[in-house]
A = this chain, B = another copy of it.
Amino acid sequence: MPQSPVFQCEMQMRFDGLLGFPGGLVDPSVETLEEGLSRELWEELGFSLSVSLEDHVTSCHTPSSLPQLVTHFYARKMEEREIREVERAAATTATDHGHEVMGMVRVPLYTLKGGGGLSYFLSHSFIGNSRGQLEDALVRFGLVTPEELRAALTHAGQKRRQP
Chain A residues close to B by CB (< 8 Å): 1-2, 4, 8, 13, 15-19, 80, 84, 87-88, 90-92, 97-100, 102-108, 112, 114, 116-125, 159-160
7 CB-based A-B contacts, threshold 8 Å: A1-B15, A2-B15, A13-B121, A16-B114, A80-B98, A87-B91, A103-B106
How many copies of this chain sit in the oligomeric assembly? Answer: 2
Interchain CA distance A111-B97 in the complex, whole Å:
18
Q: Which of B87, B98, B100 contacts A103 (CB 8 A)?
A: B87
Q: How far is the CA of A31 from the CA of B71 in the complex (A)?
A: 52
Contact in complex: A1, B100 (CB < 8 Å) = yes
Among the listed B18, B92, B103, B117, which residue makes an inter-chain contact with A17, where contact means beta carbons less than 8 Å apart?
B117
Instruction: Evaluate whether A13 and B90 lie within 8 angstroms (CB atoms) in the complex, with A98-B8, A125-B159, A125-B160 already known.
Output: no
Which residues from chain B contact A123 at a C-beta distance below 8 Å?
17, 125
| 6 closest Cβ pairs, A-B complex | A17-B120, A103-B105, A16-B116, A17-B121, A13-B105, A91-B91
Instruction: Please name all residues of chain B whose beta carbon is closer than 8 Å to the beta carbon of A120 when the two chains form the complex.
Output: 16-18, 125
Residue ID in chain B nearest A90 by CB atoms: B91
Q: How far is the CA of A97 from the CA of B10 in the complex (A)?
A: 13
Cα A122 to Cα B125 in complex, Å, equals 9
